[in-house]
Amino acid sequence: NAGVTQTPKFQVLKTGQSMTLQCAQDMNHNSMYWYRQDPGMGLRLIYYSASEGTTDKGEVPNGYNVSRLNKREFSLRLESAAPSQTSVYFCASHTYSNQPQHFGDGTRLSIL
Amino acid sequence: GQQLNQSPQSMFIQEGEDVSMNCTSSSIFNTWLWYKQDPGEGPVLLIALYKAGELTSNGRLTAQFGITRKDSFLNISASIPSDVGIYFCAGPSILPSNSGYALNFGKGTSLLVTP
């Protein structure tokens, strides 16, 4: 009963390095999302994918790219990491548009 | 995203006490969600509210969807140590082309429970 699985759980990068965060869900959900959570804040939407083959920008997309590889997998890429991207990243998914989103356990990313 | 104001920011209570927290918005929402986040984990859905005035329970938790659709309340009765965590309210904004929704989150209420 995995739900939404994110890898890695922790990562430290140097400024300028690139990295891909992975997310996979086994609930046959159509829509997938990437959020970031900064200290003392709620989550903010980076990118989303309403269905396989489509992706769109959210509230804070600058510095990120995404790929919806198939229905199960939605990856987030940092091409040139910056200290301002130090955060906890959460992937979420849901089925129909009025159903609640389910979250993974997050990737804790530090950029030095 | 839309701003949700959550209060109180933190609560420090004794086991057995009841807890109340609320969330307000300047915009109307058609759905209110309450999530709990434990340290090192992602948010877990507690209660979903879909209708103004709705009162829904999940064990010791009760949440209400405000009549104005601009607020919601969460109550926890007879708190226990495992209630410790951060509680978030969230309201959805429909994304372009009705392709899904973004969740707007409050900043959370941090709950500490002493035995």
Give how far A80 is from chain B: nearest CA, Å: 25
Cα–Cα distances in angstroms (integers) from residue A68 to residues A27, A54, B22, in the given order: 16, 7, 36
pLDDT category at B97 given cuts 50, 70, 90 is: low
Half-sphere exposure in the Cβ direction for A107 (13 Å, CA): 27
Given a contact cutoff of 8 angstroms between Cβ atoms, the answer to whether B113 and B81 are in contact is yes
pLDDT category at B88 given cuts 50, 70, 90 is: very high
For B95, the closest of A42, A56, A103 (CB atoms) is: A56
Q: How far apart are CA A66 and CA A84, in angstroms?
A: 18
User: Residue A101: how many CB atoms within 10 A of its CB?
Assistant: 27
User: What percent of chain B is modeled with pLDDT above 70?
Assistant: 97
For B100, the closest of A31, A104, A105 (CB atoms) is: A31
Residue of A45, A48, A88 to mutate, interface with B, max B Cβ within 10 Å: A45
For B1, the closest of A44, A54, A97 (CB atoms) is: A44
Residue B98 sits at φ, ψ, to 5 deg, of 50, 40
Tally of residues, chain A: 112
Half-sphere exposure in the Cβ direction for A33 (13 Å, CA): 27
Give how far A40 is from chain B: nearest CA, Å: 6
φ/ψ region of A62 (left if φ > 0, alpha if ψ in -120 to 50, else beta) reads: beta
pLDDT digits over B27-54, tens only? 999 999 999 999 889 999 999 999 999 9
Give how far A86 is from chain B: nearest CA, Å: 16
Q: Is the pLDDT of residue A29 over 70?
A: yes
A39 touches chain B (CB under 8 A): no
pLDDT digits over A34-48, tens only? 999 998 777 899 999
pLDDT digits over A52-68, tens only? 888 999 989 999 999 99
